[in-house]
């Protein structure tokens, strides 16, 4: 809980929304990282639009490699 609060200033998607979000492909848990919602099971990164609207369409998702190469590695911390 404390850890979540420490990084909360980087998080833009409302906590209530994150709690109900799931990966549309595997229905698993996702987590927010920088400007993406990540599913580590599927290696997919769903972009966050307008800072607080997650685009949870599989067709719009980036793979994690692409997300890293496109300059979000400092946010992804992978
Ligand atoms: Zn998934």
Q: Is the pLDDT of residue 78 over 50?
A: no
Q: How far is the CA of 43 from the centre of ligand 1 (A)?
A: 7
Taking the CA atoms of 69, 43, 27 and 12 in sequence, report the sign of the dihedral they define. negative
Q: What is the 3-state secondary structure (H, E, C) of 31-59?
A: EEECCEEEECCCCEEEEEECCCEECCCHH
The CA distance from 42 to 15, in Å, is 22
Task: Count how many Cα atoms sit within 13 Å of the Cα of residue 26 in the half-sphere of its side chain.
Answer: 10
pLDDT band for position 3 (cuts 50, 70, 90) = low
In tens, the pLDDT along 36-45 reads 899 999 999 9
Q: How far is the CA of 7 from the centre of ligand 1 (A)?
A: 23
Q: How far is the CA of 3 from the centre of ligand 1 (A)?
A: 23
Q: Residue 9's pLDDT is what?
A: 52
Contact between residue 33 and residue 77 where contact means Cβ atoms under 8 Å apart? yes
Q: How far is the CA of 10 from the centre of ligand 1 (A)?
A: 23
In tens, the pLDDT along 4-55 reads 544 445 557 888 999 999 999 999 999 988 888 999 999 999 999 888 899 9
Sorted by where each starts, the structural domains of the chain and their CATH numbers stand as: 2-76 (2.20.25.10)
């Amino acid at each position: 809980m404390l850890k979540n609060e420490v990084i909360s200033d980087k998080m833009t998607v409302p906590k209530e929304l994150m709690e109900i979000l799931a990966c549309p492909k595997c229905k698993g848990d996702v987590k927010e990282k920088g400007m993406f919602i990540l599913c580590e099971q599927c290696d997919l990164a769903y972009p966050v639009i307008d800072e607080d609207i997650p685009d949870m369409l599989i067709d719009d998702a980036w793979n994690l490699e692409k997300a890293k190469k496109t300059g979000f590695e400092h946010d992804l911390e992978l």
